[in-house]
Structure 1
Amino acid sequence: MSKVNPVILSDIVTISDDETISENEYSELMDEQDANEDAEQIAFFTKYLSVSEVIHSAFPIEYPKTSPQGIATVFNVTGWANPMACFNDIQYSNNGAGGSISIQNCPYFGVPVKKDVRKCQGIKHCSFADPDFINEQHNEVDMESEMFIKLNQHQHNKKTKTYTFFLAAKSTACKYKSNNQLCDGQAKLRRIIKNGGEEYIIGCDKWVRGEKWHRYIKVPGEIDLELLRDIFQGRVIDENNNENQCCTIVSRASRISLCEFPHIQDGQVMRGTIIERKCNVQFIKFIPYDLAACPYIALVCIGTHNHPPPPPERTPVGIKDELQAMIQNIIASDDSVTSRSIIAGDFL
């Protein structure tokens, strides 16, 4: 069994007597709770913070359950080399502004704890987001639900592939140089006649015979040439409302500013902008100072998320550990195994 590493809580700046329940107050609270066996069970974490639902887990959780009244998830970190790993799998971004205090006697654990308060940082989504989808609220996540399956799903028909190809070709710079200056020519659809046949490319509108290294992108066979020609000629494209209802959600930490998928606005093909949507769900962590004596950590989530769940971007610790163990076992059992053979999938 791994030894529990000490937890360094150097950012504590205040000691909160106000949130600490004295021994007498704690006894009174418990007496009141025990007086009525039919009453709803209440778990107190501070004098003013209590929840009626406590979930126990021996593993990290990707999408901790929440509610307007608050739900606590208590992690058993006995033997964990890194007890703080219980928070590593959480897919919600929660590293924004917050604060920490010390509670001298947490009524739930009965020991001194660090209380750390953070907020859900929300999500980032495309400006063409489907309103019904982006305004979907949730307190828990069902990975088999229609909402979760819909995350980042898009049509991939011939029309959308043509839009995507046009935007990619248009944004590609021409590599031709003259007097050490890059060509600033724009993308242009061209037809090439050769060997009795023809093919289409995206070339440069400043190309002249005899010059080499101008933009040259072959048009794939899966592209709708008539539609591509209409787009390059600036003709108005019919707007399909279903194509414009985007389900793109990106990481809160992502720096991309434009949606990767095409949309139609005012008859022109374009990419949507990535905008932020904030959330006020609170994540409150209760971490005992002495995890060897009290090997439990609590996460209390309060509020309702006002957005769809963010798509998974963190690989769960359990999957990482299983993969690492699998690789180690393969290498130990066969000296001829190389990193290339593992990546190639011969042993997985």
Structure 2
Amino acid sequence: MFQYSLKRSQPPEQTSSHFLESTPCSYYKYEYTGVKICKYLDPRLRDWHHSEEQHQRELNVRSDERDAVAWAWVIKTDYKRYRSCRKSTSGHTVIYRPVYFKDETRQINGKFISKVYCQYWRYNNDHQYSVVPARFNNILFLIKNIILGLETEATPPRDTCCTVDRTTRQRLTCDIAHIPSGCGKIVRVQCGVIWKVFIPHDPTVPYLLITSHGIHNHPPPPPLKVPLDVLVKLHETITQRERTPDSLSIVLRLEAYHKYLTYHKNNNNRIFEDDGVNLLIVTFYREQVKLLEDSNFSSFQVDMNYKHIASNTDHKIIWGTYNQEVKMTIPILRAIVNSQSAEAYRNLYSKVFNFIATEFSIRPKWYHLHNEGI
């Protein structure tokens, strides 16, 4: 359902309506205030005239492909205008050229990282360096062709924006860079549609009457945020759930939660150490750590960049591997430590391998020691 912006065009009047059996009513008249759009709005949206909901209409005209082209051309144009790099600490004065690089090392989430940077870029200098947004991973060839000068199109499509805002928004430009003039200016589009509301005075009449007159000459605006009363009720529900004890009836209704709690009732699936200074928590499933001694298991990754915990001092670590057969990343274990020192990581490795050897008789083989294994 669309949520349009409107304003009352006149004070309420007292009247009656034949459709409501001539019941005395309060009559309200509203005018739609239109929308705010980018001046480069796609013509298919700019010329959208409608008088009813059209759910099959293509609302998301701005595809990832168009965003990728615009993103790449912004960088390319900066190089052409000699503004891609700040004053370099290395003192280069020659013409800078962009470099496209795809990291062939698969990350823990199964994706690659692609970068665009100046040929003179090094760590801690002021030359251009950008990481290609992950949502463009399926269309990297477009970015590569533009950056390396293989794209024959002189400029990317300009009228490919689909920024539509409510009239209450105060921003002056959209978020998309439209070459060559930068981000598009937000302009106001007026709407001539009238909305009439008839509310009966008699509380026993279970109806009210709403009529809309005219055709909207603009795309529908985005919906408003969730109403405050809904947020309050949602917060109360969550708070009540947190305060509710895990009684037998509740746990049995939550089958997955019950299974998780009972599966982890013994110490054979976790390691926990806390001496007041050093913290080490490790959780895993036996079937997962058994992969370490599988003959077909040749490597695993240790990802120390996850930050899915609220603490500012604790750090989450994930051991995982990417399975080519199922095309998925399989976690082996998850750990939480409160230090990133070499001693903390040495302790993590030592505790894990000693624990799985003692409890499960799992002793991984290492290629540099046994000529096979990890």
TM-score (norm 2): 0.44
Higher relative contact order (CA 8 A, sep 6+): 1
Structure showing greater radius of gyration is 2
